[in-house]
Each structure stands twice: as C-alpha cells, then as structure tokens.
Amino acid sequence: MNKRWSYAMLGIFCLFAGENLYAQTIIEPQLKTVIQNAFQANKDLKVKSMDANKTLLEADEVRAKKLPHVAATGLYGYTHNNGSLDLPTLNLPALNLGLFEGATDFTMTSQIAYAGISVRQVIFSGLQIPNGQRALQEKSKAQGYLMDASRESIAKDILASFDQLMLLDEVEKLIVDSEKRLKKEQEKVNKAIANGLAIPYDRDKLKLALLELEEKKVELTGNRELLQKKIQQEAGLAVADIQAIVYQLSPIMLEEMPTDVQERSELKALDASAKAMEYLYKKEKGAGLPTVFAFGSANYLNIFDSNIKIKDKPVVGDINLSTNHLKGRPNLMVGLGVKWDIFTGGEHKSKIKQVQLDQAINETKRADAEEKLTLLLDKNKLSYNTSNQKLRVGEQQVKVAENNLKMASRQYEAELIDVTELLATENDWYKVNLAYYSSVLQQRLSAVELLHSSGKLLDTILE
C-alpha cells in the first residue's frame, strides 16, 4: 500500500514538473513593463500612430459627404448699371404715336439685401463614397500592422540588451569566484615563500592572473554602462530602475515550434493594403456613373431704393422711375440634380489602370515577402535547434571543467603540479563557463528570433 502511494505521489510530482517545464514564462513580467514603456516613449511609433489616426479622420471626412450639407448665405450690395432695352413697339392710333419704338438706353441704381439657407445631399455617388471610406479604413489597418512590426523590433532589441546585461552579471560572478580562489592560493604561496617552501615565481604568476581579472572587471564595467545608456534611450528608464531588474539567464524552451509566417505583421499589412486597393478599384469604377443629389433652399431677397432713368423718349424726354422695394419672402426651391462626367479626356481610365498596377505590385510584394520570411523561419528553426544542442554539450563541458578544477586544486596542494598548470586549469574553467553562458544568451536570442519570424513575439509579450 505504501509503495502504491509512493508511486502515485511520484507520478503527481512528475506531472507538475512537466507542466512547469512547458509553462515557463518566456518573457519576464518586469521586462514586459519595460517594453510597454518603450512603446509609449518611442517617437517613431508616435508618428506612425498619428498617421493611422489621420487616415481614419480622412475616412470620416469621406463618410461625411453622404450627410446633408447645409449652408447659410447673407449679403448686401449696391449696383449701378448702364444698359439698353429694346421692347416691341406699341402703336397708339389715337395719338398717332408708337411707344417703345427702337432701342431705349437706361441707367439703374439699386441696393440689394439677400439672406438664405440651402441644403444639398448626395443620394447616389456610384458607390464612390462607401468604397472610398472602406479603402481608407483598410489603409489605417495596414498602418496599424506596420506599427506592430515596429513594436516587435523594439521589443526584440530591449530583450537582447537586458539579456546582455544579465550575461555581464554572470561573467562578474565568474570573475569573483575565480578571484576568491586565486587570492586564497596567493595567501598560501606567500606563507610558503616565507617558510622557504616556494619561490617568488609562483607568487608573480598568481599576481599576474589577478591583474588579468582586474582588467576584465574594468572592461565589464564599461560594457555595462554602454548597455544601460542604450536601454535608457530606448525605454526612457533611469539607471536605478535598470539596475533593479535582475533575472536568471536561463534557456527559453518553446512548447511548440512555429510552422508558418502568416501571423507576421508585415504580411497582414500587405493583406490590408490589398483590400484597400480592392475598394479603391471599386471606387474608381463607380466614378463613371452619375452622381444624384437632392437640394433645397429658402431665401429672402429685397431690392430697395431702386432708380431707373430712361433717356430721350419722344414727347416726354427722360423718364425717371423709382421703387421703394421689391421683396421675395421666402423664395422656396426643392428638387433633384444629376451630375455626370461624360468625357474627362481619359482621366478615369488612367486612374483605373493605376489602381490595377498598384494591386499587381502589392501582390508581388506579398508573395516575395512570404517567400523570404518562410526561408527566415526555417533558418531560425535550425538556429534554435542547434543552440539547444550546443547547450547540452556546454552543460557537460561545465561539469568536466568543475571536476578538473577541483582535481587540479588538490594536486597543487599535494605539489603534484605547479602553479602554471593550476592557472591553466583555472583559465579553462573560466572560459568554459563563459562559453556556456554565451550559449545560453545565444539560445535565448534564437528563441526570440524564432518567435519574431513567426509573428508571435508581440502576442507573447502582451499576453
């Protein structure tokens, strides 16, 4: 009964261990916050976001063309006219006189006041308005996908920079460990020299090795400062905030290998552009149809203080006429209108052909991009698998180097080897561990590149 219980507990433990293995957090939560801050601080992303919003505003502007347009007009003016008027002659037999015989010259002055409101609404535009609106909406989507592509590149750079910082931390630990051992050996050598059991040569060799470690420390400090400044510029963080971020530089093990590149933001952007051009093509085709609109107006007209002078009339001479006002209130008009561009010099056909060429170009770009991205995905898969194999080899090398170092220390204490051989073993241990952590860094980079090449990096960061 106890054995069964033990086996059951062992099975449950293995199950949870397996779940933890595959439920590994690929991106550390603290890095997700940094990356989000970088998105907010990046000026290029801000410009692209404003461009996308601008396109949506253009789409709203096109949509507004379907709504009624109301305009109000008011004006006041003074007119002075000289003219000639020729009316049919009116004969008066009783007076033996013909009125309005010949052309009559006149002068007219008047003041005019006008106020009115008019309404105009497009009823049918050959579907140019809805298709134009949808084309701009799809263009905005394409711009949004390109923003996602930029976000992925920013995230990838920040992850790489922080991983390099963590690598420097591991290198610093290696230097400190090696320094402790060498100083311990140096103390032993100094005592042996004092007792006449060792020669100064051994002490000088250890001192030289310690100086080399000091040189590595100086180089490490400079590299760390450069990385911190780079992250400061990318994410807008203070140095103290950057230094507060610490995590274990461990391999990123992907549960599933990506199989295609259809989630790449660049391909989605090209797909959205293709839809935008499809709507644009429909819009240009509809431009050959008539535009039907409804209109209406109401206005007030007042012509006042008018004076008309008719010159040199028979018998009466000049005639002066005047009016107080001539009013129209209100003047109403409603109706339908049609506008049809029958011939535009081939401009309409030219625009259709331009859109067709743009569609062909976009389709070619899409096919080329998919082919190149698929090749890149295959390359990154191979790189990821190779880096995992190198890690397994590196782990074995670290174990061998640890054992060699322990054995060399014991042999040196037993005076079976000299200080040169001990330092050579110490140096091998340092190089092997440095190579291992470099392999971990490369494995993490290849895993991130694999996620990026499949278009899943941004989703992994934002989840």
In the chain, the amino acid numbered 214 is E
User: What pLDDT does 277 receive?
Assistant: 95
Residues 184, 427: Cα–Cα separation, whole Å: 16
List the beta bridge partners of residue 224: none
> pLDDT-based confidence at 46, cuts 50/70/90?
very high
- pLDDT at residue number 365: 96
The DSSP string of 6-51 is: HHHHHHHHHHHHHHHHHT--SS-HHHHHHHHHHHHH-HHHHHHHHH
| Of 182, 308, 322, 168, the residue nearest 245 (C-alpha) | 168
Which tens digits make up the pLDDT trace of 257-282? 888 999 999 999 999 999 999 999 99
At 212-253, the pLDDT tens digits run: 999 999 999 999 999 999 999 888 889 999 999 999 899 999
- Give the model confidence (pLDDT) of 417-431 as tens digits: 888 888 899 999 999
Position 91: which residue type?
N
Across-strand partners of 111? 78, 304
Tokens for 14? 């293995």
Q: How many CB atoms lie within 10 A of CB 360?
A: 11
Indicate if the pLDDT at residue 40 is higher than 70: yes
Query: How does 281-300 read in b/e, with b if 16+ C-beta sit within 10 Å?
Result: bbbbbbbeeebebeeebebe
Angle, helices 200-235/419-454, rounded to nearest 10 degrees? 20
For the chain, list the domains and their CATH numbers. 25-67+125-289+347-462 (1.20.1600.10), 70-123+291-339 (no CATH)
From residue 184, give the alpha-carbon distance in Å to each of 178, 288, 358. Answer: 10, 91, 73
**pLDDT above 90 coverage of the chain, percent:** 48
Q: Which pLDDT band holds residue 106 (cuts at 50, 70, 90)?
A: confident
Q: Is the pLDDT of residue 26 over 50?
A: yes
pLDDT band at 97 (very low <50, low <70, confident <90, very high): low
Question: How far apart are alpha carbons 54 and 70 in whole angstroms?
Answer: 25
Tell me the mean pLDDT in the region 188-195.
Answer: 72
The Cβ-side half-sphere exposure at 395, using a 13 Å CA radius, reads 8
The span from the first CA to the last CA of the chain, in angstroms, equals: 45
Nearest to 178 by CA among 336, 409, 369: 409
At 283, list the tokens: 């819009």
Bridge partner residues of 105 (DSSP): 84
Q: What is the DSSP string of 138-184?
A: HHHHHHHHHHHHHHHHHHHHHHHHHHHHHHHHHHHHHHHHHHHHHHH
For 105, the enclosing helix (H) or strand (E) is strand 103-124
pLDDT at 101 over 70: no
Give me the chain's average pLDDT, please. Answer: 85
Main-chain dihedrals φ then ψ at residue 270, nearest 5 degrees: -70, -35
More confident residue, 293 or 389: 389
Q: Are strands 103-124 and 97-99 parallel, antiparallel or unpaired?
A: unpaired
Report the SS3 class of residue 319: strand
Task: Tell me the per-residue pLDDT of 370-426, one tens digit each, with 9 for 90 and over.
Answer: 999 999 999 999 999 999 999 999 999 999 999 999 999 889 888 788 888 888 999
User: How many whole angstroms from its chain centre is CA 25?
Assistant: 26
Q: Which two tokens stand for residue 250?
A: 């461990």
